[in-house]
Amino acid sequence: MNKISIKIGVLFFLAIFILECILMVFLHNNIIHSRVHEELTSLQTRGNNHREILEASFHDETIRHIAIMEARTDTQVILTKPDGTIYMSSNRVTDDMKTIMKAVPKPIPHEGFILENDWKNKAYIASVSPVIIDDHFTGYVFMFQNTEKIKEMISGLNQHFLIAGLLSLLFMIIIIITLTRYVTQPLIQMSEATKRISKGDFSVSLPKLGKDEMGELGESIKVLASDLEMLKNERNEFLASISHELRTPLTYIKGYADIARRQETIGEDRDKYLGIIFEETGKLSKLVKELFNLAKMDENTFSIEKEKVHLRPYFQSIIEKVTPALKENHMDLVLECSVDLYMFLDPIRFEQVILNLIDNARKYSEPNSKIRVEVRNISGRVHMKIQDEGMGIPGEDLPRIFERFYRVDKSRTRALGGTGLGLSIVKQLVEAHGGTIKVTSKPNNGTAFEMIL
Ligand code: ADP
C-alpha cells in the first residue's frame, strides 16, 4: 500500500463510516421506539378488551375467566374497585405494581391510559382502563407486562444490528481497498514513470488511461519523456559536433605551428604556414562567436529590440558592406525594394540574418553570377527573398539545412570558411522576430531563401 491509497482510503472510510453510524443509530432508535410502542398499545388494547367484557357482564364468573385467561400469558391483569382495593389479580401483586397503580390520573379517558412506559428502568410497563357500567364508574382494569421480555427482544435486536454493522464494515473495507487501488493505480504508475525519467530512462510505458484529466496527464508525461530524450540526444550530438569542429582547425594550427618553428623551415614557407595558422585562428574565433550567439539564444537572454526601420536604406547599407567581397568574385547584387516600405525589427540582429544569407549566396555560387534581393509587402506582411544562381542544394539535404553544423559538402564548405551554424542562427533570429523562413532550391539552378515577417 502506498501513501496516496492510504490517504484516500482512510478518507473514504471515515466518510462512509460516519454516515453509516448516523444511519444505524437512527434506524435502531426508530425500530426500538416502534416495537415498544407496539407492546404498549397491545397491552392497552388487551386491558380495553377485558374492560369491555366486564362492562357487558360484571359477574364473578366473568372475572374468574379473565383471571384464568391472563394467568397463562406473560401479561398480568388486576381488577380493582374505584378506591383501589383489589377484586382480582391473575398473578401475585408485587410492590412495584402497587406503586404504579397509585399513579392513576383523574379523570381517566375511557379508551384507557399508559401508566408506565419506562421499559429501561422499571420492572413493568403498565396500562389502565376504567370500567363504566351504565354511566357508573365501577373499577379499574390494570394490565402489567414484565419489561424483561422487552429487554431481551431489544438485546436480540442489538445483536442483529451489531452483526449487520460488522458485515457492512467488512464489505466497505473491501470495496474501499479495491476502489482506491483502481483510482490510485494510474497515479502511482505515473509517479514511477517520472522517477524513471529523472534517472534518465525515457522508455515510459503507461497504459491507456482514458480521456479524462488522468489520461491527459499520462499523455503529457509521455510527450515530456520523448521531448527530454530528444533534447538529451540533441545536446550530446551538439557537443560531439562542437568538439569535432574545434578539433579540425586546432589540428591544422598545431601541425603548421610545429613545422613553422623548426630551424630548417625557410622564411618563405614559414610565412605561408603562419598565414594558414592565422586563417584557421580566424575560423576558430568565428566559430566560437557563433556558438556564443547560439548559446545566448538558447538561454533566452537574447533580447530583440525592435524599432521602425525603413527597409530600402537599411538593405542598401548592408549591401554596401558585402560589395567588396562580391566584387572580388565578380558577382552582381540586385536589390528590389520600394522606397516607402518600413517595418519594426531589431536592426543589428536582423543585419546578421541578411549578411549570413548573402554571404552563403556568394560562397555557394560561381563567379559572374547574380544575387537578387527582393523585399515586398504582400497583404500586410513583409516578404524578403534572397536568390542566387549558384550550385543549389540537393533535395535530400533541404529539410536538414537549418540544423546546427549541417553542411551539404563538408570538405568544400569548410574550405570556404563555413561553420554550419549560419543558417541555424538565421532561423532562430527570424523566429525571434515572429517570422518564418523557407528554402527552395534546385541543384545547379540556384537557391532562394524566403522570409515572411
Ligand atoms: P556554412 O557556414 O557552412 O555556410 P550555413 O548554416 O550557413 O553554414 O549553411 C549550411 C549549409 O547549407 C552550407 O554548408 C551549404 O552546404 C548549404 N547552403 C547554404 N546556403 C546555400 C546557398 N545559397 N546555396 C547552396 N548551398 C547553400
- From CA 351, how far away is CA 374, in angstroms rounded? 15
Residues 6 or more apart whose CB falls under 8 angstroms from that of 230 comprise none
Judge if the beta carbon of residue 80 lies within 6 A of ligand 1.
no
- From CA 329, how far away is CA 327, in angstroms rounded? 5
Judge if the beta carbon of residue 47 lies within 6 A of ligand 1.
no
Domains 213-298 and 307-452 share a fold: no
For domain 307-452, which architecture applies? 2-Layer Sandwich (3.30)
Q: What are phi and psi of 405, to 5 degrees?
A: 65, 10
In this predicted structure, the answer to whether residue 417 has a pLDDT above a threshold of 70 is no
User: Which CATH number describes the domain made up of 213-298?
Assistant: 1.10.287.130
- From CA 53, how far away is CA 383, in angstroms rounded? 117
Q: Report CA(195)–ligand 1 centroid distance (Å).
A: 42
User: Mutation test of ligand 1: which of 238, 397, 401, 421 has the most ligand atoms closer than 8 Å to its C-beta?
Assistant: 401
**Contact yes or no for 75/142 (Cβ under 8 A):** no
Q: Report CA(420)–ligand 1 centroid distance (Å).
A: 7
pLDDT tens digits, one per residue of 181-237: 888 888 888 889 999 999 988 888 887 777 888 888 888 999 999 999 988 888 888
Judge if the beta carbon of residue 129 lies within 6 A of ligand 1.
no
Judge if the beta carbon of residue 391 lies within 6 A of ligand 1.
yes
Q: Report CA(367)–ligand 1 centroid distance (Å).
A: 17
- From CA 122, how far away is CA 150, in angstroms rounded? 11
Judge if the beta carbon of residue 447 lies within 6 A of ligand 1.
yes
92-99: long-range contacts, CB 8 A cutoff, minimum separation 24: 94/123, 96/122, 96/123, 96/124, 97/124, 97/126, 97/142, 97/144
In this predicted structure, the answer to whether residue 447 has a pLDDT above a threshold of 70 is yes
User: Which CATH number describes the domain made up of 3-153?
Assistant: 3.30.450
Strand order across the beta sheet in which 370-378 lies: 332-337, 370-378, 381-388, 446-452, 436-442
Judge if the beta carbon of residue 386 lies within 6 A of ligand 1.
no
- Tell me what percent of the residues of the chain surpass a pLDDT of 70: 97
* CA nearest to 418, candidates 362, 373, 353: 362
**Contact yes or no for 109/140 (Cβ under 8 A):** no
Q: Answer with the residue of higher pLDDT: 348 or 334.
A: 334
Residues 6 or more apart whose CB falls under 8 angstroms from that of 302 comprise 296, 432
Domain extents in the chain: 3-153, 213-298, 307-452
Q: How many CB atoms lie within 10 A of CB 193?
A: 21
Q: What is the pTM of this model?
A: 0.55
| H-assigned helices in 128-146 | none
pLDDT tens digits, one per residue of 82-100: 988 998 999 999 999 999 9
**Prior bond of 107 cis (ω within 30°):** yes
pLDDT tens digits, one per residue of 136-194: 899 999 999 999 989 999 999 999 999 999 999 999 999 999 988 888 888 888 889 99
User: Mutation test of ligand 1: which of 245, 407, 428 has the most ligand atoms closer than 8 Å to its C-beta?
Assistant: 407
- From CA 195, how far away is CA 189, in angstroms rounded? 10
